[in-house]
Structure formats: C-alpha cells, structure tokens
Structure 1
Amino acid sequence: MLKQNLQQKLLQKLSPQQIQFIKLLQVPTVSLDTRIKEELEENPALEDLSLTNLNEPEEQYPDRDPEEDTFNSDEEQGPADEFNIDDYLQEDNLNEYGSRYDQNGDDDDDRKEIPIAVQSSFFENLQAQLDLVPLSDKDFRIGQQIIGSLDDDGYLRRSITSLTDDLAFSQNIFADDDEVEEMLKVIQSFDPPGVGARSLQECLLIQLRKKDQNDPVIRKAMQVVENYLDEFTRKHYDKLEKSLNMTSQELRAVISEILKLNPKPGDSNEVNTKQMQVIPDFHITNNDGFLVLTLNSKNAPELRVSRSYQEMFEHYDKASQRDKKLKEAVQFVKQKLDSAKWFIDAIKQRQQTLLKTMNAIMQYQYEFFLTGDDKNLKPMILKDIADRIGMDISTVSRVANSKYVQTEFGTFLLKSFFSEAIQTESGEEVSNKEVKKILEENIGAEDKRHPLADERLTEILKEKGYNIARRTVAKYREQMNIPVARLRKEL
C-alpha cells in the first residue's frame, strides 16, 4: 500500500560558493594562474587589474566591511528577481587580497617562462629514419604499422600475428609473419638503440650487438644477458662468478657495461613538454631569530568586478519599462556579477586559509624553521593543526597535499612536515622523520659489499634509544624507496 507522509530531515549541503572555495583551495600556485584565466574567459564580468590600463583615474568606493565578505555566511536572500544594485557598485579593497601580501618584489622573476626546446618526438624520429630506407611500398606500410604499435618506452608489446591481422583488416595489406619479422629487424636497427624490442632481454641484447664485438667484456655481458639475466637482476654475483668462471674484477666490469644500457629506449628521445615546476606558495625568512611568513604574490591576483557590467546593470535596473528580453538581460548580468563576486570572495578566503594554516604549521615547527635540522621536527598530525586553526581536518589536508614553502634550507612540501610520534627509551616522543634520517645515514655509509640487513638496522636504532620493531624498520625503508639489503649489494 502506498502512503504519503511529511518527513523533516536535517542535512548538511554545500553551497556553490563552498564548492568553489574547496576546489580553489587544493589548486597549487603553479596551476592557480591557469584556473583564473579560465574564469576570466568564462565570465566577462570579472576583470584582472594587471591586464587592464591602470593609468586611468580610479573612482573612490567605500571599503567593504570584512564581515560582509565572510564566505560561509548563510544570510537569507530575497527572491531571484529582487536585488539591490548597491551590492554591485562597491569595489573590493585590493589591500585585503591583492599583491600586497608579498613585498619581496619577485613578481618579474615569477613571471619568467622556462623556454622549451622544439624537438621531434620519439615516433617522428623513427618515421624520419624509415623514410630514408629504400623499401617497397608494402614494406614501408608494414614499417609504419610497427612504429605505430610501439609503446612510449619503445617496446613492441603486440605479437607478430596481431600485427599481420591489423595490416590485413585495417590497411588491406596481406603479409605473412616472416615479412613482418624482417621489417621489425629493420626498425630495431634504428636509433635509439634497443627500440622495437619485445622484452627487456632483447632490448639489452640489441644495444650490446651494436657495440664492439671484439671486446671480451662485451661478449661476457651478452652471455650474462642472454643466459643469466635472472641471476643478474637478483644480484646473485657468486653464482655468476662460478657459472662464467670470472673473477670479481671481471664481473664488476661486465656489470658496469650492462648498467650503461638503456632499459627504456623510448624515453631517451622524448621531450618532456610538461615540466614539473615547483613554485613555492609561501616564503619563510629568518629576521634575527624571528620568523616572517609571506604569501606568494601569485596567490593574490588583483581581481575586481567589471565596471562596464556594473554600469550596464545600473542602466537596466533604472529602465522604466521591462519587457521579457530586458528581464532576461538583467538576469544574465546579475548572474555574471554574482559569479564574479563569488570567485573574488573564494580567492580571498583561499588566501586567508592558506596563511592561517601555514602560520599554525610554522608556529608548531618553529625550531625546525629556525635551524633546518630534521631532529627538531616535532611529531605532528593533521588534527593538531586543525584544532589550532579551528577548521576541519580535510581543509588542512587540501592545503598540505599540494602546497610548498620556501625556506633558507630549501623548498618543502607541507605534507612532509606531518609525521607520526615514536617514543624513545627515555619516554620522549620524537618524529619518525628523525628515525628515517638515521636509517638513511646508516644505509648511505654501509659497506655495499655487505649491506646492512633490516635486523642489523633495528639493532642500531635500539642502541641509539629507539625501540622499534624490525617490520617498522622495513616499512620506513620502503617509504624511502630503499631496496632490501640483497639488492643494495655491489662488488
């Protein structure tokens, strides 16, 4: 039986302004400029003062009350067709969120673009080499098919039979497996050496065959790759010495030759057009023992609501007669003005949140930012900072995951300052960063012929007063991307 009833629920729902703020908060400085340009293109009611003529005399508008700009305010609004034109005739105070945050005068340096060399791509390079080989039309098409089937690392992951089928169905070229195999050998003769290989073993052998075959080291290296690749990758050097009847010095020369080879030939000629550029969001300077925090000026764009749209809105609002088209025009202008105000408010709140969060982290880790010594890093979790600034943990996480701070000791990701606490034998709580630093130092200073096992590393830490289990040492080692002792062994 169907029934109708009224039910009252209390739900938390994000407003469009809050969603916009959350998205902007997690955008790093290096991507913020692109995000602002997108908004400027979509909303003509939004202007960037740095792109407009600043020589024009500006009218003086009353400063806005900061409380009116509170982002999370839930004030009741009237109907959609009722609005006050005064809301749109006030200009935001640039001193609150403009480029005044950063007085370092490094705007010109920040705006310099990194030149990227124009080079041919990996596949274009192979195609250019194919064009120089005297081939029949059929073989040329087969070669094109092989090049198009290569992965970005230069390997051919598809079988010869699959390539034969592709030629028949897509290009109406009927070739047998032997013809495709012969053309593959032609491709494998191209640069970079090792291209067109179907396995790591074949890739290394192709590169070795292009070297001097009269060199005994090269011949031994080919023998190792061809017959003992598994033992080589597992660093079972004792087995290799016995199987190949070589001394440690001879094996060292063979291993050195193999390590010079490129396991991913496709990456060697590829231009990295998306260079990862780290732009710090914050700067911390030491002023005679007093830390000063500043926000990168790129986080404080000079944005305002378009005057032309304000005047257009005023003109429409004062119109004595309003037909349907005029009402639609007024509603469109109002929507764009609202969107521009929301975006400016979201940018302003983003800056305030960034500064508030970073200031709390700086105060918490004050000793580290003064000295740069990892041993001065205090155990800190997201909740510690969230409680200090009175915000949610997710907000702190969005700030920490993608923002960088520049100090006198280098540029750091904020996330790197968060760490778990470890208790020493004396009962003192220290950061696990301190333990990782000790592990890194001991592994770096070890005898590579006899690297330290996890059990020995655990004993060393216990001798220093850190009572940590072996599995915890293994976990920290893996987090630092350090392989096990057997794979760190060298001759």
Structure 2
Amino acid sequence: MLKQQFNLKLSQKLSPQQIQLMKLIQLPTQAFEQRLKQEIEENPALDTGKEKTENPDDEFSNENQEEEYANDDTNDIEINIDEYLSDDEIPNYRLQANNYSADDDDKSVPYASGTSFNQHLKSQLNTYRLSENDYQIAVFLIGSIDESGYIRRSLDDIADDLAFTQNIYTDKTQVEKVLMLVHQLDPAGVGARNLQECLHIQLQRKGLNPTMVLAQRIIEHSFEHFTKKHYKKLLSKYSVSEEQLKDAIEEIEHLNPKPGGSFAGNTRIVEHVVPDFTIRIVEGELELSLNGRNAPELHVSGAYNDMLRGYKETKKKTKSQKDAVQFIKQKLDAAKWFIEAVKQRQQTLMITMSAIMHYQKDYFLSGDERHLKPMILKDIADEIEMDVSTISRVANSKYVDTPYGTKLIKEFFSESMTNDQGEEVSTREIKKILEITIENEDKRKPLTDEKLAAILKEKGYPIARRTVAKYREQLDMPVARLRKKI
C-alpha cells in the first residue's frame, strides 16, 4: 500500500568553508605548508609573498555569495565587479616591508643521497675471491637482509628460491657456507639469523681475552639464563666472581643488536619535528608565540583584479568574456575562502594553546611534571567556548617549544585521580613519581609492583598493584626481574 506523508526534520550541515577550516586546523606546520603550496598551485587567483593587500572590499559575505549564485545565469551573467575591486589605489611601496623575522624565511631540509645498505654490502664482496655460483648466492643472501641487518628466512627456503628465481641449483650446506662469508662483512653481526647469532659474531671480532671468552660462552651456551638475568645460575655454572661476570655482561650490553641500523650511508628519511608554538619565560611571565610558518602572507592576485577591471570598463561584453569572468569570480571566491580559513586557523590555534598554557601555568614555569594539573579536552573547550572536536584537532600531532624541550601538546592532557587527602591529581604526576622511584631503586634488588604500590601509598597515592603495572608499562619500564643488575 502506497501513501504520502510530510515529515519535518531539523538537520545541521557543515558548509564547505567550515569543512576546509577543520581540515586546516588539524594539520601540523609541515603538513600545512604542503597544503598551502597545493592550494597556490591549483588556484592562480591566490598569491603569496612579501606584499599584502589590506582591502576592506575583499571581505566576503556568505549571504551575498549564496544570493549571487542563485541569480547567476550562464547565458546572461550579471556580476557586481565592484565587490571584487577596491577603490583604494594604494602604491606598492606602501605595502612592502623589510623587517621580517627569521621565521618568515622559507626553510627546507636537505636530504643527502648516498649508497644504500645492500649496495654497501655488495661492494665488499669484490674483496673476496668467489666462484660465479657462490657470488650469486652471496648477492641473493644480501638481498634477503632486512633493515635491522638480519636474515629472517630459513636457508632451505632461500635454496628453493635460488632454484626457482635465479636458476641456481644448490643445497642448504652450500648456502650456509656462503652465509659464513657474509658474516665477515661490515658492520659486524650483519646477516645473522637471530639475536644470539648476531651477538656471537660481534664477540668473535673482539678478540680472545678472558672477558670476551666468558661473554662468548654465555651467549653460546647460556643465552636463556642471560636474557632472563639469572645471574646466580651463571655464577655457579662458570665458577667466576661477580666482578668477572659483570665485566662480561657489560661487554655484551655494548654490542649492537641491530647492525643494519648503524650503517651511516642509509638513505632513510629522518623525521624532523617543527614546533607549532613557542613558549618563553620573560620576566617571570609566560609568553606564547605561533610559528611564523603558520602565518603566511596571502593575498588575491593583482592580475585577476586587473582582468576584472578591464571587463568592467568594456562596454560590449561577449559570451567568451562573460565565461572568463565567471571563471575568475569562482577562483577569487575560493581564494578569499582559503585566506579567511587560514586566518581563522591562526586565531583558533593561538586561543586554544593560550588556554592550555594558562591552565598548566605552574608546569610551564617550573618544568616539573609533578605540577601538571588533571586536564581533559572538555576543560579547555568549556574555557574558550569551543567544541571538544576543535580542541582535539589543535592538540593532535602538534608540538610546542618550551624552555624544557619540545613537547607534544596532547601529552599535557591527563586523567585525574584522588589522593589520600581528597585532592585531584594528574596521572602524569603519579607516573613521574613512579619513574623517579624506579630510577633510584637498588638495582641489585629491584622493587616489585607490589612494593612500588606500597611506596606510592605511603606518599599519598593509593593505587592498586595492577595500576602500577599499567603505568610502568606505559613508561616502557620492564618488570623487576629484568631491571636487576649485578
């Protein structure tokens, strides 16, 4: 059965300008610069440089824009050119300045090219006398080495792949023989099949003094006891003093567990953190500034204004001219929207970070994480009367340069916990006290999670053992047994 009915429904939809602003707000400095370059390339009406046109007529009204589009007709375009042109003829020299700070300069990070890790290893094969067959096997083995310097595949699989892909018929014994040669390449430990073999190869290169011999025996015959730090069993098995065992363990701890990562010629791109904000202490007061790279000099291209001016002065307007002006108008609108979105982005970033800075004033003045207050996104959102999602976009993936180092903004947010005096304290404060307690413990008898919970309770933080274990794991600290030292 078919029937018709009317439904009234209220809905909210984001305008394209609001969506564009939200996307810009969540971008960190480097990503914002890339987005800016992309917009300039795509929109010829948008220009950047040291000149900036302050034009009150360039302010764009959404209502006027929507009304104008509603009245547009592709066959008979009536455009208010005056809306896009300024009556103020300001000389260019009055719009130029030379007092720009260093932050306004274009900065780019140079990347040096070099020899790859595999190429470095292959070049060393030329110093050995190898048959053509062995050379091809060695090259294939080098190609199987990952970034850490390990071969993660079994030799049987490699022998099969050599037959199928390289037409080289060999067996596991021959592949292992060539692998022993690969183990002689630099850096030491490269081509190992596991951590135990990697450490053993490095120790063999260090000589045969008593300490090295003991270290080799431990790695070769007692690797499990070593990894689990069963020092008493090692002392009993090898009949050595604590000092001798300590020297051998120190030698092992100085070895490189990832020989591939130590190669100086690798071409992996290093990520550079660019702070979005800077906080300085000036005469006992906090001073916040936005990175100059977040405040570009943007203006509407003067060439497009000249085109519109020429169209206005033409008495007889052809269809092609009207089509061109319609295109210009769309580009100008897009340029004005983008410029306005960039300005709103700057304001939102500054307002939000200023609220965070004042909320955590005690921390920024002292640098002590124990002074961090409990703070969630809603606290800042309520203070500056913005949506929680906006605060989240500002805090995500952005950094602030402080007198105590460059910090990720979202690290200042933390949940609260009530201490024994009924006061709300930040979980970051508890983690800092836990970290200091573990650092100052007797490494010969590390504190268990139960003992750490008891110590925190004595200091006024009644938390459970499982909570201590959770915080310890978040601080990337191992259990007591693995923190033990001789």
Do they fold alike, i.e. is TM over 0.5? yes
CA 1:468–1:221: 2 relative to 1, 3 Å? same
User: Paired residue for 1:85?
Assistant: 81
1:123-177 per-residue CA deviation (whole Å, 9 max, x = no partner) reads 1211211233333333322222222221111111122233233333333333333
User: Paired residue for 1:474?
Assistant: 469
CA 1:19–1:289: 2 relative to 1, 3 Å? same
Deviation at 1:301, TM superposition (A): 0.4
1:130-209 correspondence to structure 2 within 5 Å:
130-209=125-204
User: Paired residue for 2:450?
Assistant: 455
User: Paired residue for 2:376?
Assistant: 381
CA 1:352–1:60: 2 relative to 1, 3 Å? closer
CA 1:179–1:85: 2 relative to 1, 3 Å? farther
1:83-103 per-residue CA deviation (whole Å, 9 max, x = no partner) reads 543444369x9xxxx999xx9
User: Bigger CA drift: 75-84 or 305-314?
Assistant: 75-84
Does the 8 Å CA contact 2:58/2:84 hold for their aligned counterparts? Answer: no
Does the 8 Å CA contact 1:116/1:273 hold for their aligned counterparts? Answer: no
Does the 8 Å CA contact 1:99/1:297 hold for their aligned counterparts? Answer: no
Deviation at 1:336, TM superposition (A): 3.0
User: Paired residue for 2:46?
Assistant: 46
Does the 8 Å CA contact 2:112/2:267 hold for their aligned counterparts? Answer: no
User: Paired residue for 1:33?
Assistant: 33
1:253-268 correspondence to structure 2 within 5 Å:
253-268=247-262
SS in 1 for 2:69: coil
Deviation at 1:17, TM superposition (A): 2.6
User: Paired residue for 1:408?
Assistant: 403
Q: Note the residue ranges of structure 1 that are not aligned, 5 or more in a row.
A: none
Deviation at 1:406, TM superposition (A): 2.4
Does the 8 Å CA contact 1:99/1:298 hold for their aligned counterparts? Answer: no
TM-score normalised by length of structure 1: 0.86
SS in 2 for 1:151: coil
Aligned counterpart in structure 2 of residue 351 of structure 1, from 340, 346, 350: 346
User: Bigger CA drift: 193-202 or 13-22?
Assistant: 13-22
User: Paired residue for 1:62?
Assistant: 56
Does the 8 Å CA contact 1:317/1:330 hold for their aligned counterparts? Answer: no
Aligned counterpart in structure 1 of residue 103 of structure 2, from 104, 107, 123: 107
Deviation at 1:285, TM superposition (A): 3.0
CA 1:133–1:245: 2 relative to 1, 3 Å? same
CA distance in 1, matches of 2:295, 2:428: 33
Deviation at 1:298, TM superposition (A): 1.0
SS in 2 for 1:150: coil
Q: Note the residue ranges of structure 2 that are not aligned, 5 or more in a row.
A: none
TM-score normalised by length of structure 2: 0.87
CA 1:462–1:206: 2 relative to 1, 3 Å? same
Aligned counterpart in structure 2 of residue 216 of structure 1, from 210, 220, 226: 210
Aligned counterpart in structure 1 of residue 234 of structure 2, from 240, 247, 256: 240
Deviation at 1:256, TM superposition (A): 0.9
User: Paired residue for 1:20?
Assistant: 20
CA 1:489–1:294: 2 relative to 1, 3 Å? same
Task: State, as a whole percentage, how many aligned pairs show the same letter.
Answer: 52
CA distance in 2, matches of 1:481, 1:275: 23
CA 1:478–1:132: 2 relative to 1, 3 Å? same
Deviation at 1:74, TM superposition (A): 9.8
CA 1:73–1:251: 2 relative to 1, 3 Å? farther
Please state if 1:432 is matched with 2:423.
no
User: Bigger CA drift: 380-389 or 159-168?
Assistant: 159-168
Q: CA RMSD in A?
A: 3.2
Does the 8 Å CA contact 1:99/1:302 hold for their aligned counterparts? Answer: no
CA distance in 1, matches of 2:395, 2:260: 35
CA distance in 1, matches of 2:219, 2:64: 68
Deviation at 1:28, TM superposition (A): 1.3
Q: Which amino acid is the alignment partner of residue 234 of structure 1?
A: K
User: Paired residue for 2:291?
Assistant: 296
Deviation at 1:8, TM superposition (A): 5.8
1:346-381 per-residue CA deviation (whole Å, 9 max, x = no partner) reads 211111110110111122122322333333321110
User: Bigger CA drift: 188-197 or 170-179?
Assistant: 170-179
Please state if 1:250 is matched with 2:241.
no
SS in 2 for 1:402: coil
Deviation at 1:9, TM superposition (A): 4.9
CA distance in 1, matches of 2:450, 2:253: 29
Deviation at 1:447, TM superposition (A): 0.9
User: Paired residue for 1:226?
Assistant: 220
CA distance in 1, matches of 2:120, 2:463: 53
CA 1:60–1:443: 2 relative to 1, 3 Å? closer
Please state if 1:361 is matched with 2:320.
no
SS in 1 for 2:44: coil
